[in-house]
Amino acid sequence: MGAVWAVLADGWSYAGWVVGASHIRDVDAAWPEPGQRIHHSVGPWPLTIEDTTEVVRCEPNRLLELDARMWPAGAARITLTLTPRSESVTEVVMAERVVRGPTTLMPNVVQDALLVPRNRETLQRLSALAQGRAGSDPSK
């Protein structure tokens, strides 16, 4: 679990595992404490949107809840829950829901159709980074 949390607690790694995040401009010094932010760009260059993701709740090695902004599209609440399954395996569950902005008008089924594949890839990237930090071969 430590390797997964290490990636989540390293704000500078955010663009490496979050699909759509393209550049980290700054990370507040006390990340991932509540109220701390990652200042990032979203989207492909040169069509990027500069915004922030803020920690709403943090329980080290257990839970990270984020408010991810991408104006003018809106903002989403993202909750990552970590559960140890063995000494070397951590299950990560990611829940995301649009909470502000015009995209809230999309029905949940449409949001899910867009977010589920993106979040699956996000979790695969998080896994690869965590395995790399732990010194294991992700192909095993």
Average pLDDT, the chain: 90
User: Does the global pTM surpass 0.85?
Assistant: yes
Which structural domain, as residue segments, surrounds residue 99? 2-134
CA–CA gap between residue 59 and residue 50 (Å, rounded)? 27
Check if the beta carbon of residue 3 is closer than 8 Å to that of residue 133. Answer: yes
Instruction: For residue 129, give the CATH number of its domain.
Output: 3.30.530.20
Beta bridge partners of 98: 76
Give the tens place of pLDDT for each residue, 90-107: 999 999 988 888 777 888
Instruction: Give the number of domains in the chain.
Output: 1
If you ran DSSP here, which 8-state letter would residue 47 be given? S
10 lies in some domain: yes
Instruction: Name the least confident of 37-46, 57-66, 76-85, 123-132.
Output: 37-46
